[in-house]
Structure 1
Amino acid sequence: MWPQLRVADWTETRDTLHMWTQIVGKIRLAHAPLVNHWWQVTLYVSPRGLTTSAVPYHSGFFDIEFDFLDHLLRIRGSDGTDRSVALEPRPVADFYRETMHALGELGIETRIQAHPNEVDPAIPFDEDHQHASYDPSAAELFWRQLLQANRVLGEFRSHFAGKVSPVHFFWGAMDLACTRFSGRTAPPHPGGAPNCGDWVITEGYSRELSSCGFWPGGGEEGAFYSYAYPEPDGFADHPVLPAGAFYSPDHGQFLLPYEAVRTAADPDRTVAEFLQTTYEAAAEHGDWDRAALEEDPNRWQKHR
């Protein structure tokens, strides 16, 4: 259930896939209305890969899905039309041109900011011949990692009655995330992400938060992470579980290597302990109103 995928074994595929998800994410951004913290730009884990979900276009909708079983990018319109783009070894420039052409054939007029964000260098998509790798087995294994992470993060999300994000995939940093909010505003974030306007980061961090998730970095096989903004005094020194978790001053967050989860006797419980104790580090030291914000998701179970 928790597959092994060493980062070193698929770095080139990961970096190419990162650029492809940025292209698809920017297509969603071009058509979806703004939702606080940029929630309208994200992708979601699906039974076959990653999807935009339904995106509005004029009086209808379309969606785009990375299918990591058939290794196709599927574009489907609510009028019954569809197109597909092969997921195979190819430069980002070719993938970009074919994807935009497929949208044009479906009558979906789209203009995007045609270069990546949160990476350096930010090679324009139509000039990117550097990223051209695609290992279908690695892409499928990564999706299966996301399936498991999505499932446990979703369970964790259900215990919060306050404002909380969906479990969603941010293509900027290529991570699966879920964020809880205290209900209070936050000081303006200083920004600093490469090739990303500070105003973008200001919107993302406009409210006090505790965020957690999974991304394919930070360990030999990726890592679960958890951080707070603003980080309260005492956060980094708060005792957390499991034993393999630690606070990284370089990253400004708690990390739990994926390999520590995969090899644990109970991987689900291992991740759940990490998510809960690192959230408590933010909530306790940040003086959150936990009684008002937390809830038992099984409170109506006896009536079901």
Structure 2
Amino acid sequence: MEQQFRTDLACEFIKSKKRLPDGAELSRIEYENGITAERIDISEDAAKTIGRPAGRYVTFSSGKLWELDGYALDEISELLSEELASFAEEMTGKRLSGDFSVLVVGLGNEKMTPDAIGPGTVSRITATRHLADAAPEMFKKLECCRVSAISPGVLGQTGIETVELVKGAVVGASPDIVIAIDALAARSCDRLASTVQLSDCGISPGSGVGNRRFALSKETLGVPVIALGVPTVVDSSTLVRDVLSMSGNESSSKELEAVLNNGKSFFVAPKECDEIVKCVCRLFASGIDRAFGITLGDYA
């Protein structure tokens, strides 16, 4: 029986294949402080073959984010800001300026630590859209884009699908682009809180943990969507397989595979999850602020 695993990371899904699918391209760049970037381009044909959305994925790997020093985190923040700015300009065909509008959407449940990256990032974002009308002289001096941000919560809290709330915000704020931030699921424990993924093909909240909601994408919102996230949980069945592999049991019985693939597993987060979420939220907020011209402070 084929082993099934859940992951939101394109790099893990691509590498799980015996060979790179036709129409998929993978490249790798190494930076200082042990930071690497993997770029994956998936064509429409390749997307049909592998069951992942077509588009561009960029993955930064750095080791455990919450254990990095300020210099390494600052470098990741700078790399992240450069990619966000590049994505935004390429996806909209517009140059970043005071007329460019960005809506940051923090997905997830702020009351569940592993799922709180989206809301936590939004709480640290420097919103500037209102200044264009309320304080035009100040806004002009900032030389930044028009940034707005919301945390729509989750369906169980609001009774409203996230995409419906975000659609309302898009109508009201008229952004050129949406940045959707969410906690992700990984296949490998080594990826937890050590990988940052960006993509230009939107996001389906909760898809990595089997709780797929309506997608946030250009098709559903009417504007391009950048997805940004860090994996904070791993499927428990993955841990079982990893233990079996470490003990020398590379294969498992049909009965065990049936249990592992029955969809009733749970998800596990690192014990340092509180510190991880704080670190990632600061990192994301810093990267977004830098990308769209906010220079009120650094990563710290």
TM range (shorter): under 0.3
Q: TM-score, normalised by structure 2?
A: 0.23
More helix by share: 2
> Could you tell me the TM-score, scaled by structure 1's length?
0.23
- Higher-RCO chain (CA-CA 8 Å, sequence separation at least 6): 2
